[in-house]
Amino acid sequence: MPLVSLRRAARESVSGLPREFWWLWTSTLVNRLGAFVATFMALYLTLDRGYSATYAGLVASLHGLGGVASSLGAGVMTDRLGRRPTLLIAQGSTAASVALLGFMHDPVAIAAVAFLVGMASNASRPAVQAMMADIVRPEDRVRAFSLNYWAINLGFAVSSMAAGFIAEFSYLAGFLIEAGMTALCAVVVFLKLPESRPQRTPAEAGAKDDVRLGTVLRDGRFMGVVGLSFLVSVIFQQGSVGLPVAMGEAGFTPADYGMAIAVNGVLIVALQIPVTRFIEHRDPRRLLVVSSVLAGYGFGLTAFAGSVGVFALTVCVWTLAEIVNAPTQTGLVVRLSPVHGRGRYQGMYTLSWAVAALVAPLMSGFVIDRFGAEWLWGVCAVIGTVAAVGYHVLMRGLSAEGAVAAGAPTEAQAEVGAS
């Protein structure tokens, strides 16, 4: 009977979604299966090239700065040029820049190309999220975003384990494999994904471009979500910037880090879909508060880790936070975004993660070099607490104004939420 129930749950989780969604999902999976560079970049710079943790943090921050530079521009492109052209430009540029990065040896050149990689790779995110919102029915979006996040982490689980061993053999091979996989994603988009940008009615076309970046910035409700997203993402970024450096300085190998961080992907692959089914119709206020606390104190527990097994246990704690936070927050962002401004709204939301990718490495490198890794994990606990309080206050205000609780909204509700 449990097996029958499991099969029924799996069938219900994947049924009813359009073919275009599955091609977009496939592109995401292929991209993440080849995502080696982000996993071993800090180790590559500190262990293979002999640079300091501060320099590694600087390079990672320039990668994040590239994402900051492209987030809003990619959002505008997504609305004006279209989802499909934006994806093709972003993925082609990413493949070329990642391959180039593998051949850079001068520290200034490494930093400059890392900036280009961050700019190109981040440009695809608003287009992917807007296209997914376009092609999936409102009542299926939470499930679709969860499945997409599941694909991201299925790929991440595989690439994380592979990255450690590839790094011990050849860092250059990792750069070239990622470039090839990203180029394959562009081929999938080109051959299988049509443009999904909603068509405007004659009245809407006459109004020209009524949703501008200023419109997004004046949406206080949405910008509050963006700010809290930034705090939470600063915490989660430590899994790829602070944790590998701290483990390396403690004497652990790239393979040790790869095995520990792979727990994150494995748990998400195993639990994302059932947990999403469990939380889909629950109060998002509590979910966001709880996930923020789990994220902060999950990383805080890393201060007490002294073996790969204990590091893996701390990864389990903050992974639970990620599993809950991701679909809940993504669903909230979609509900607050107007149909013909999805690119710009998604660009602003992506900006919160891009800025975090800029700030987190600088913060982790500085704190580890000056005070030690234990202080970094304490800061994460404080940030998680601040984010939890912020979500409690913001969501209470949203509830008072009639914000939608858990569950998929209608298009009309999405329009009202963004006004």
pLDDT higher than threshold 80 for residue 42: no
Distance CA 144, CA 272 (A): 12
**Residue 29 — very low, low, confident or very high, per pLDDT cuts 50/70/90?**
confident
**33 vs 15: which has the higher pLDDT:** 33
Instruction: Label residue 208 by pLDDT band (50, 70, 90).
Output: low
For 108, other C-beta atoms within 10 Å of its C-beta total 8
Which pair of structure tokens corresponds to residue 220? Answer: 């206080």
Question: Does residue 25 surpass a pLDDT of 80?
Answer: yes
Q: How far apart are CA 384 and CA 32, in angstroms?
A: 27
CATH node for 18-195+212-417: 1.20.1250.20
The lowest-confidence range among 87-91, 173-177, 354-358 is 354-358
The lowest-confidence range among 87-91, 219-223, 296-300 is: 219-223
Average pLDDT over residues 315-343: 83
| Residue-level pLDDT at 389 | 92
Mind listing the pLDDT tens digit for each residue in 155-168? 877 887 777 777 77
* Mean pLDDT value across residues 120-138: 85
The H helix count followed by the E strand count for the chain is 19, 0
Mean per-residue pLDDT of the chain: 80
Provide the pLDDT confidence category of residue 411 given band limits of 50, 70 and 90: very low
Q: CA 34 → CA 66, 69, 128, 399, distances in Å?
A: 20, 24, 18, 41
User: Taking the C-alpha atoms of 67, 68, 71 and 73 in order, what is their torsion angle to the nearest 10 degrees?
Assistant: -110
Q: How confident is the model at residue 201 (pLDDT cuts 50, 70, 90)?
A: low
Residue 409's pLDDT is 35
Q: Please compute the mean of the pLDDT values over residues 253-274 and round it to a whole number.
A: 82
Q: Is 321 exposed, middle or buried (0-12, 13-18, 19+ CB in 10 A)?
A: buried
Q: What is the pLDDT of residue 404?
A: 40
389-401 pLDDT per residue, tens: 988 888 775 543 4
Residue 127 has pLDDT above 50, yes or no: yes
Angle (deg, nearest 10), helices 342-370 and 242-249:
20
Taking residues 221-235, what's their average pLDDT?
Answer: 90
Average pLDDT over residues 142-162: 79
The one-letter code for the residue type at 120 is: A
Hey, where are the domains in the chain?
18-195+212-417
What is this structure's pTM?
Answer: 0.71
DSSP-derived secondary structure letter, 106: S
pLDDT at res. 296: 94
Helices (H), 47-140: 53-80, 83-101, 107-122, 124-135
pLDDT of residue 257: 86
Give the confidence band of 368 by pLDDT, cuts at 50, 70, 90. confident
244, pLDDT greater than 80:
yes
What is the DSSP secondary-structure string of 341-409? GHHHHHHHHHHHHHHHHHHHHHHHHHHHHHT-HHHHHHHHHHHHHHHHHHHHHHHHHHHHTT---SSPP
| Mean of pLDDT values over 35-63 | 78
